[in-house]
A = this chain, B = another copy of it.
Amino acid sequence: MKVYKRAILPIGFKANGVASGIKKFGKLDLALFFSEMPAKASCLFTTNTMQAAPVTVCKSNLNRSKYFRAIIANSGNANCFTSYAGIEDAKDCLEALAEGLSIKGKEALIASTGIIGKRLPLGKIRRAIPGLIAGLSREGIKKASSAILTTDTFTKQIFSRFVIGKRQVGIYAVAKGAGMIAPDMATMLCFIFTDANITQSALDKALKASVVDSFNCITVDGCMSTNDSVILLANSAAGNQLIKSGRNFKLFSFALRKVCTELAKLIVRDAEGASKFIQIHVNKAASFKEARKIALNIANSNLVKTAIYGEDPNFGRIVASVGATGIKVKQEDLKMSVSSLKKKDIYVKVTLNRGRRQAIVYTSDLTPEYIKINAQYN
């Protein structure tokens, strides 16, 4: 298996990105991902109860159709807390897209990211759709990957290639991250494309397993977004023997998990205002859940984050974060080590002596730059 940080779409996929005018200054803000053949979809969405309109519409379409052809995604406007009108806006958007692509509206999915509480500028999107479709190409993924960004400073994408039988299979994933990043279903937009031939149940199983220790193990600010979506399309174009279970399923799952983990780390590396990339490794826990809970509580502690920003070792704040979870770790069992704080990459190891499970959570530090970015977002 090979893994690259590159924009390579698997067979049968095309993409494009344009500036529709949702964002100012002619910035790319509207992306389209297209599969030439019907693709199975597997999706995971935010657990935030204030879910955005595109999440509602995706869930509805996933119930109405078994195969999908396209995903349209915009940045600059989250289409959230926009009431029933927002849902109609998302549906209208998909209808306009379906007409242009000569597919059915229920065969397309939609995602949005940006400011909450404002209506989508539907006119602008409608006017942009013909050009968006006309420009679809394999190379268009570069523009598409830029068009989904908000405060991100770089595009985040991972491509993996591996062999099933005698066929090459590819998985490409692209994400936007930056802020309002806290786990419990990937707190960002992520689109994954594979040309693998795989059953629906195997696809769902592989995706669920892949987010557990990737997107659900990262946090920037502990703030869960209303729009988080991971959408995975599999179009079978690789022509491999159908993946169901066994060795081939393991291979596909391993590759998908690797892609998700690397992408999750890229999101943390580009966290708003971050000056450090922090890996928190909790081991000898009674369960993965327990290890993850403690790691996340350390990762979300403003006091731990500021201490690391200040390169000021402060074990006490880690101790307090462990205890604040309510998990009854004995003080005499708790061991900690922190790598040199002078470096950009920080490794925090916490040992509990309660069992054999572990979890790794990735996070960033809390800096004056994070405050600057978020004090003037509008």
Contacts and interface: CB of A to CB of B under 8 A. Distances in A.
Interface stretch (A98-106, A355-363, A366-374): A366-374
B371 A320 contact: no
Interface residues of A, number: 61
Does more than half of chain A's interface fall in helix, strand or loop, or is it mixed? loop
B366 A307 contact: no
A251 interface: no
Interface in A242-289: none
Given A49-B326, A322-B50, A324-B223, A376 B312 contact: yes
Given A50-B331, A302-B221, A329-B50, A375 B309 contact: yes
Interface stretch (A5-13, A76-84, A155-163, A197-205): A76-84
Given A302-B374, A306-B374, A377-B314, A320 B225 contact: yes
A21 interface: no
Interface string A290-324: 00000000001111001101111111110111111
Contacts of A314: 115-116, 377-378
Contacts of A312: 375-378
B317 A223 contact: yes
Contacts of A303: 179-180, 221, 223, 374
Contacts of A351: none
Interface in A46-73: 47-51
Given A303-B221, A315-B116, A371 B366 contact: yes
A276 to B, nearest CB: 12
B371 A301 contact: no
12 contacts: A49-B329, A50-B324, A80-B316, A80-B320, A81-B316, A116-B315, A116-B319, A226-B319, A307-B374, A311-B375, A312-B375, A312-B377
Interface of A: 47-51, 78, 80-81, 83, 115-117, 179-180, 182, 221-226, 300-303, 306-307, 309-317, 319-329, 331-332, 334, 366-368, 370-372, 374-378
